[in-house]
Amino acid sequence: MPRATSRKQRLDPPAMPPGRVLAEIYMRDHNMSQTDLAKKIGCAHRKINEIVNGKRSITPEFALELEKIFKAPADMWVRIQAEYDLWIVRKKRKHAA
């Protein structure tokens, strides 16, 4: 039986991790692998992999690199990261209460 959701849960949906946005929208649309992106930016493949897998955040500096590659504004990447970070903190506080 499906679990009922509260009005609060419906109004506060989970934030999409920035790495997922990067991989599932931008990299996919540009037919780009993690290795391809790492080469274009000039960073280690591991850095891209960690961002895509949610183990590393998108910094403002990295957002500027993404802006060059995908023509998506750096402030968008920073905002997605900040919104995700805030969602995580709220979730932790809710479970701690």
Share of the chain above pLDDT 90, in %: 80
Q: How many domains does the chain have?
A: 1
Asked whether residue 66 is assigned to any structural domain, the reply reads: yes
Q: Which residue has the higher pLDDT, 4 or 13?
A: 13
Alpha helices by DSSP H, the chain = 7-11, 18-21, 28-29, 34-41, 45-52, 60-70, 74-96
Which pLDDT band, with edges at 50, 70 and 90, does 6 fall under?
low
Q: What pLDDT does residue 13 have?
A: 78
For 71: left if phi > 0, alpha if psi spans -120 to 50, otherwise beta; the answer is left
Domain assignment of residue 75, given as a range: 16-96
pTM of the model: 0.84
**Can you give the CATH number for the domain in which 42 is found?**
1.10.260.40
- At 69-95, the pLDDT tens digits run 999 999 999 999 999 999 999 999 988
pLDDT of 60 strictly over 80: yes
